[in-house]
Structure 1
Amino acid sequence: MKSLTFRPSLCSAAAGRARWLADGRADRQGSAVSAPYPPGRLDTANPPPPYPPTPAGYSVNTMADKDGKKDLEEAEGGWKQFIYNPGTGQFMGRTASSWALIFLFYLVFYGFLAGLFSFTMWVMLQMLDDYTPKYRDRVSSPGLMIRPKVGSSLEIVFNKSDYKSYEKYISALDGFLKPYDDLIQAQKNILCHPGKYLIQPDIIAEKKACQFNRTTLGECSGNNNNTFGYNEGKPCVLVKMNRIIGLEAGGGSNPVVNCTSKKEPQVDIKYFGSFDKMYYPYYGKKAHVNYSQPLVAVKLMLGTNDTNKDLMIECKITGTNLRNDDDRDRFLGRVAFRVHVTE
């Protein structure tokens, strides 16, 4: 069936007919509205214009119906044309050349940023030395640390009658001292003259290192007593000094380690090994490949009165250019640890 759309003349006719009917209805109800014809009667002499007849085979559609259908069609096809518009060849609102220019812009932009970052990193690396840190003023004096160190706490707690209670300590000590075996030291390092710094010229890329033999530690070497005195209730503790590149430790004299009990009574202590000047200066991990860090072994000669007690032992290192009195850093030139031995 075909559709026919009303024109403005048709709408005017319909409006006039509606007014004619309304006036007649008001007269019948006794309305005070004046009319050119008697109350209760329609003006038959001037009837409203009739509706135009609808041609056969046609349906009546208003302009509003056509506008609604048009909006619906546009809504359904709008998002499809946004994805791809076959008429203009645009994809998501842009042509292929526009997308290519955007991609090229970001490619150049991020490529420039990557190049700038790489250049600044290269400049910075050119200013660094592979063997020596550029800035070393923050660490002017070394700290101390002990072995065995099981876990994060600095304490040695065991029962001298129970092997399993101190097995972890002797295993840690034996593993730490493996590189100090005399045979290994003889193969890697050289014999040096005690009491003299081993200063080597810069032209030598790989520096030589002095031997530090395990046997130097005497009763704490583990050679004669593989329990390091723990089975006797007289444990051995190794004290090591942190490495600082270029430091001539002691400032002309050998650094000395001294350990004391923080509370009375004092504990008898034996010392083995030393921080001799011949092990200094240290030239760094890359240059001093076979460097063996010197050690001082401390054997706590605990008696019957020292068992079943908490003992706080503090070890300090003294030397001309070494500090041990900084309250802000409890490891600078010193170390404190707890010992508790039971029977």
Structure 2
Amino acid sequence: MASNEDKPAVKEEENAGSWKDAIFNPRTGEFCGRTAKSWGLILLFYLVFYAFLAGMFVLTIWVMLMTLDDYVPRYRDRVPHPGLVIRPKELDMLINRSQPVQYTRYVQTLESFLQQYNDTEQERNEVCTAGDYFDQEGEVGEPKKACQFKRSSLSRCSGLSDSTFGFAEGRPCVLLKMNRIIGLKPRGEPYVNCTAKRDTPVQMQYFPSEGRFDKMYFPYYGNKLHERYVQPLVAVKLLLNKEDYNTELTIECRIEGSDLRNNDDRDKFLGRVTFRVTVVE
């Protein structure tokens, strides 16, 4: 007759056997409660199920891509009017004439940006008729020609006659351009007009003359078709005097003379840009 002392040992063995059987039961051949056939069927189900989902995803993407144009975005109604962009990309500029190192970064930014406008580069483009849109017909996917915009047309703000773009003399130049919008053909004669937000005006000089964006640089056909296209620029030279130094000047520039919007309170860069300049000796 087994003693009571043997019963706990038997119970422990039964528990151990029960735990092992939950992992692998040698009598039924089950692993984690399933036979090899059951595991095979469930794995096959999930393999087919996820393969079907992957196939549906790939098919959906393929159908969507077939509806897209390689050259023109499908939806363009949200950006009918361009923004106005400033170079250098600084809305707050502090210019210390006695410390060239301080304004060197502005000069380097302008020099780097204007490399694509070098006359040697632009001479590879077309000499277009000023005042007329440069409409181009042709087969689908045929590359479009680009009109010349030579750096030298920026005159005193080209960086050619003055490598510091006027920063050394306390009369800095800033460059303005419009964002690219495919197919844009602004009506009228768009030009840039800048004003200082103070009682007395600040003298400015525009390059090219009158700060105009000529129609011959429109329309734009997109990056793939119009690879050599560069946006027309307007350079604004601030003709500051000593009386203007040590004072923060707020300058607002707008696109005027056309149907391009410049007064949307929800977007302060739509057709306009505001920046601040402080020159110290």
> Normalising to structure 2: TM-score of the pair?
0.94
Task: Kindly provide the CA deviation profile for residues 242-264 of structure 1, in whole angstroms up to 9, marking residues without a partner as x.
Answer: 11110002x1x331100000112
Task: Kindly provide the CA deviation profile for residues 269-316 of structure 1, in whole angstroms up to 9, marking residues without a partner as x.
Answer: 000023110000011111111101110000000011111101000000
Q: Structure 1 unaligned segments of length 5 or more: list them.
A: 5-60
Q: Structure 2 unaligned segments of length 5 or more: list them.
A: none
User: Cα offset for 1:81?
Assistant: 1.8
Alignment partner of 2:226 out of 285, 288, 291: 288
Q: 1:235 maps to what in 2?
A: 172
Residues 1:90 and 2:27 aligned together:
no
Q: Map residues 300-339 of structure 1 onto 2, 5 A cutoff.
A: 300-339=238-277
CA distance in 1, matches of 2:134, 2:221: 11
What's the secondary structure of 2:161's corresponding residue? Answer: coil
Q: 2:132 maps to what in 1?
A: 196
What's the secondary structure of 1:254's corresponding residue? Answer: strand
- Check conservation: 2:95, 2:280, Cα contact below 8 A: yes
Q: 2:54 maps to what in 1?
A: 114
CA distance in 2, matches of 1:66, 1:236: 100
User: Cα offset for 1:66?
Assistant: 6.9
Q: Map residues 1-343 of structure 1 onto 2, 5 A cutoff.
A: 4=1, 61=2, 68-150=8-90, 154-187=91-124, 189-203=125-139, 205-249=142-186, 251=187, 253-273=188-208, 274-343=212-281
CA distance in 2, matches of 1:79, 1:325: 76
What's the secondary structure of 2:16's corresponding residue? Answer: helix
User: Cα offset for 1:73?
Assistant: 2.1
CA distance in 1, matches of 2:24, 2:217: 77
- Check conservation: 2:189, 2:258, Cα contact below 8 A: no
What's the secondary structure of 2:104's corresponding residue? Answer: helix
Equivalenced residues, count: 277
- Equivalent position amino acid for 1:261 in 2: A
CA distance in 1, matches of 2:245, 2:6: 105
User: Cα offset for 1:68?
Assistant: 4.8
What's the secondary structure of 1:260's corresponding residue? Answer: strand
CA distance in 2, matches of 1:75, 1:202: 84
What's the secondary structure of 2:168's corresponding residue? Answer: helix
Using the aligned pairs only, state the percent identity: 55
CA distance in 2, matches of 1:182, 1:320: 29
Backbone CA RMSD of aligned residues: 1.5
User: Cα offset for 1:130?
Assistant: 1.1
CA distance in 2, matches of 1:231, 1:334: 27
What's the secondary structure of 2:205's corresponding residue? Answer: strand
- Equivalent position amino acid for 1:115 in 2: G
Which structure has the larger Rg over C-alpha atoms?
A: 1
User: Cα offset for 1:69?
Assistant: 4.7
What's the secondary structure of 2:258's corresponding residue? Answer: coil
What's the secondary structure of 2:146's corresponding residue? Answer: coil
- Equivalent position amino acid for 1:135 in 2: Y
What's the secondary structure of 1:129's corresponding residue? Answer: coil
CA distance in 1, matches of 2:216, 2:257: 15
User: Cα offset for 1:70?
Assistant: 4.1
CA distance in 1, matches of 2:8, 2:101: 91
What's the secondary structure of 2:110's corresponding residue? Answer: helix
> Normalising to structure 1: TM-score of the pair?
0.78
